[in-house]
Every structure is written in C-alpha cells, then in structure tokens.
Amino acid sequence: MTLAIPDELLKKMKQFREMKWSEVARRSIEQRIQDLETLDRIASKSKLTEKDVEELSKKIKASAAKKF
C-alpha cells in the first residue's frame, strides 16, 4: 500500500525519525476497522428505518446547534 503524505506533514514526521510510521498507520487502520465492525454489529441489530435515522439526525443537529 502506498500513502500520499502532504509535504508539511512529511516534514513534521521527519522530526521524529525514531517513530515507525508504518506501524502507526497499521494500528490506526486496525482501530478504524474495529470501530466500523462494531458499528456494523450495532446497526445490524437496529430496528430503526432509514427515515427514523434521518429524523433522529435532524433532531440531534438542531439540539447541538442550540447548545453551541
């Protein structure tokens, strides 16, 4: 796998040459996959319809907008 790293980020990474950046990337990818698998398991048990989810999303966004 090849990753595109912006120049500015690459400069910062080079400041910490002792870091194994490929290991950092691998762990991050593993964690993201675990998170997505957990979300899939939760969603597969849900009885909410897509319409229900959209309505909840709108309510949450409206509530957050009022709060902040």
Mean pLDDT, contiguous 10-residue spans, the chain (68 residues): 95 97 97 95 87 90 88
Break the chain into its structural domains and give their ranges: 20-67
- 3 close to 25: Cβ distance less than 8 angstroms: yes
pLDDT tens, residue by residue, 46-58 = 888 889 989 999 9
